[in-house]
Amino acid sequence: MKFVPSGREWTLAQVEPALGISVADGGRLARKSRNLGLAALARRAHWLGVQESHMIQVAKPETQSPSTPAAAAAEAAALPLSTRFELGAEITPVQRAFLDRHGFITFSQVLSTAEVEQVDAEINRVQRRWLDEGRKKVYGIPVFVGKDPEGQPFIQRFAFTSQFSTYIRQLVRDERFYPVRGLIGDSTRVGDEEKDGVVFNRNLNVPGSAYPRLGWHTDGLRSLFYLRMPGPMLNVGLHFDRVRAEDGGLRVIPGSHKQGFLKMAFGKPYFVSHRPDPREVAVETEPGDLTVHDGRLWHRVEGSPRTGWQSLRRTMYVPYLTDAYAPKREDSRTPLYHELGRLLRRAKGSM
Ligand SMILES: O=C(O)CCC(=O)C(=O)O
Ligand SMILES: [Fe+2]
């Protein structure tokens, strides 16, 4: 049994005494060893332990998980699409099979109420700063400024938030997300200054809103605008409001991530179509929920039928990346995709 952090080979026999604990100990490793200054190594070991369970022994999930991939797939297929899973120290075979089959998965209340409130406070602080500065873009990405129900300026899409909030920067690195990161790759980084960074969205249905809803799209095609072929990509979202189907919110077409390239490119007119699809399902969320969706999955955001603050829907998307490091800076160019979006918003007064 061995694993390979950063190109070096370690055997369990070497690592366990170094950490003073067993790798099989799973998520407790990092916590226990923090005092010893070994947190980074422990996290890495835990990470690899979670990742490479075929190589190192890890604690089996407490429940009787299905013994074969086929059994896990069958169990996942029998679950309702509205299933909200619990996020543990590792992704279970059924959770993995559910994501693979449907292209999305929801984990319930991964953030605590206090964390939801703290992120919101940080975003309000960033908003004050950006409004004071008269900011139009962050690292080349347009800031969507609309109006709140009182007619005051209200930022509705914040890019690169973790560059402006130490709290958010640390939160998205918390060890509870390691299993989710493991779905994306063996060694992921937080793209604080890549793509659009950690994005915070605030959909609001009021006159003057810059972002009440979002039309049909896949996130993968967007990466074509960054001049990259869409590789396997998973989008990790945190949700800050209780959103039932009747409140609008995220709509996905389950299984559409398995379509071919043509359907992904031309299946629907990107961003302009808002029409409900007979195959769509609503992803209902509670504050603190985490969703993962496949970059090839067709999805949209349905506007709230309510108005005013009651229509508020807040989400935060975290880029956990594995591809080549491509940082942006304040003077980075605006991607074509965002220029088009800006023109559309200007033409229509809203998205
Ligand atoms: O608001 C959401 O949950 C999804 C937003 C989205 O699909 C996107 O920004 O690409
Ligand atoms: Fe999207």
pLDDT, averaged across the chain: 83
C-alpha 323 – ligand 1 centre gap (Å):
21
Q: Give the residue-averaged pLDDT of 149-157.
A: 97
Ligand 1 pocket test target in 214, 257, 284, 311 with most atoms within 8 Å of CB:
214
Q: Give the residue-averaged pLDDT of 96-110.
A: 97
Dist. CA 155–CA 135, nearest whole Å = 10
Q: What percentage of residues in the chain have a pLDDT greater than 90?
A: 68
Helix axes 39-51, 12-19, angle to 10 degrees: 140
The kind and range of the H/E element at 278 are: none
171 and 28, same domain (yes or no): no
Q: Give the residue-averaged pLDDT of 158-177.
A: 98
23 and 139, same domain (yes or no): no
CATH, residue 285? 2.60.120.620
Dist. CA 313–CA 281, nearest whole Å = 18
266 and 334, same domain (yes or no): yes
pLDDT of residue 341: 77
* Any domain includes 211: yes
C-alpha 313 – ligand 1 centre gap (Å):
11
Q: Does the Cβ of 48 fall within 6 Å of ligand 1?
A: no
pLDDT in tens, 170-200: 999 999 999 999 999 999 999 999 999 999 9
Dist. CA 293–CA 320, nearest whole Å = 13
Tokens of 83: 């299933």
The kind and range of the H/E element at 26 are: none
pLDDT of residue 4: 31
Residue 81 half-sphere exposure, CB side, CA atoms within 13 Å?
16
Dist. CA 283–CA 271, nearest whole Å = 19
Using the 8-state DSSP alphabet, how is residue 68 labeled?
S
Whether the CB-CB separation of 251 and 281 falls below 8 Å is answered with yes
pLDDT in tens, 220-230: 877 666 655 55
- The bound ligand whose nearest atom lies closest to the alpha carbon of 314 is 1
> Which atom, in ligand 1's list, is nearest to the CA of 222?
10
pLDDT of residue 340: 79
Q: Is the pTM of this model over 0.85?
A: no
Phi-psi domain of 349 (left: phi exceeds 0; alpha: psi -120 through 50; beta: other): left
Tokens of 60: 């089996």
The residue whose CA is least distant from atom 8 of ligand 1 is 219
44 and 136, same domain (yes or no): no
pLDDT of residue 261: 84
130 and 226, same domain (yes or no): yes
Helix axes 93-102, 69-78, angle to 10 degrees: 60
* Any domain includes 102: no
- Say which residues have a Cβ less than 8 Å from residue 80's Cβ, sequence separation at least 6: none
- Say which residues have a Cβ less than 8 Å from residue 17's Cβ, sequence separation at least 6: none
- The bound ligand whose nearest atom lies closest to the alpha carbon of 251 is 1
User: What's the first-to-final CA gap in the chain, in angstroms?
Assistant: 53
Whether the CB-CB separation of 95 and 291 falls below 8 Å is answered with no
* Any domain includes 323: yes
C-alpha 187 – ligand 1 centre gap (Å):
24
Q: Give the residue-averaged pLDDT of 95-123.
A: 98
Q: Give the residue-averaged pLDDT of 314-341.
A: 91
> Which atom, in ligand 1's list, is nearest to the CA of 237?
3
171 and 270, same domain (yes or no): yes
159 and 236, same domain (yes or no): yes
118 and 28, same domain (yes or no): no
The 3-class secondary structure across 53-101, one letter per residue, is: CCCCCCCCCCCCCCCCHHHHHHHHHHCCCCCEECCCCCCCHHHHHHHHH
* Any domain includes 62: no
Q: Give the residue-averaged pLDDT of 251-272.
A: 91
- Say which residues have a Cβ less than 8 Å from residue 198's Cβ, sequence separation at least 6: 160, 161, 162, 168, 169, 172, 190, 191, 192, 316, 317, 318, 319
pLDDT of residue 349: 53
> Which atom, in ligand 1's list, is nearest to the CA of 300?
7
pLDDT in tens, 10-61: 333 333 333 333 333 333 333 333 333 333 333 433 333 333 332 222 223 4
* Any domain includes 254: yes
Tokens of 139: 């690292």
Q: How confident is the model at residue 343 (pLDDT cuts 50, 70, 90)?
A: confident
43 and 131, same domain (yes or no): no
Phi-psi domain of 249 (left: phi exceeds 0; alpha: psi -120 through 50; beta: other): left
The kind and range of the H/E element at 220 are: helix 219-225
Whether the CB-CB separation of 211 and 157 falls below 8 Å is answered with yes
10 and 138, same domain (yes or no): no
* Any domain includes 41: yes
- The bound ligand whose nearest atom lies closest to the alpha carbon of 195 is 1
C-alpha 130 – ligand 2 centre gap (Å):
24
Ligand 1 pocket test target in 203, 289, 312, 317 with most atoms within 8 Å of CB:
317
Containing structural domain, residue 22: 1-57
Q: Does the Cβ of 87 fall within 6 Å of ligand 1?
A: no
Residue type for position 264: M
Q: Give the residue-averaged pLDDT of 134-152.
A: 97
Domain count, the chain: 2
* Any domain includes 246: yes
* Any domain includes 70: no
Q: Give the residue-averaged pLDDT of 107-135.
A: 98
119 and 30, same domain (yes or no): no
Q: Give the residue-averaged pLDDT of 247-271.
A: 92
